Amino acid sequence: MPSLISARAFAVHIFTAAGVALGFAALLAAFERQWTVMFWCLGAALFVDGIDGTFARRYRVADVLPRWSGDVLDLVVDFVTYVFVPAYAIVASGLLPPALAIPAGLIIVVTSALYFADRNMKTDDNYFRGFPALWNAVAFYLFVLKPGPWVAAVTIVILSVLTFVPFKFVHPFRVTRLRMTTLAALVLWTVLAAAALLYNLDPSPWVAYGLVIIALYFVTVGLADQWMTNDRSAV
């Protein structure tokens, strides 16, 4: 039975590592400028990232296989799918001024690498501290909303700076405050994002508006909690 338990635990690591395979498939699609396919692959990787931790805890993977670090593996997968592939897509898509495309890509990967190395990237109440390098989401919004090149460039600079600003950004699964509302928003976001992909990143306005409203919710819920916490501390 111990070998079966170990095999089951290692299967969880393989499942997590499959996110890198999905990231590689997304990169190949990006090379061919098949942006919709790329985002489907990144979405699948996001799904894997969302549920692998549940399996890891259920099967006590860290205890059964202490040799392999699930945390490190998760960071590797996340950097590929949240940062590296989206950064390439943003650079190669033509959404930025040509002279700024490569510098913007470099800014994304460097600031994100520093963020991933930050031991204090999360607060005690499980919020992210600063913009959590969600460049897959940023790329998705840029492709859907198609702002002007300079607007896109300024957005990237601002978000890169916000990586190091200590504001709260909600973790949809681990933050207890408004958890059910946040999860409902995440489900609705998933439906709208899938609709945008089905329309080849050119959805109807109501889909785009819905995506923007949900993004604003995810940004403001952490800021509101931080404001209330600071307000209580000042009393």
Closest CA to 172 of 183, 161, 163: 183
Residue-wise pLDDT tens digits, 66-113: 999 989 999 999 999 999 999 999 999 999 999 999 999 999 999 999
How far is residue 231 from each of residues 74, 185, 227, 228, 235, measured CA to CA in Å?
35, 26, 6, 5, 7
Task: Enter the pTM of the model.
Answer: 0.93
Q: What would the two tokens of residue 57 be?
A: 């805890």
Q: What would the two tokens of residue 105 be?
A: 């890509």
Q: What would the two tokens of residue 61 be?
A: 């993977």
Domain spans of the chain? 2-234
Residue-wise pLDDT tens digits, 30-58: 999 999 999 999 999 999 999 998 999 99
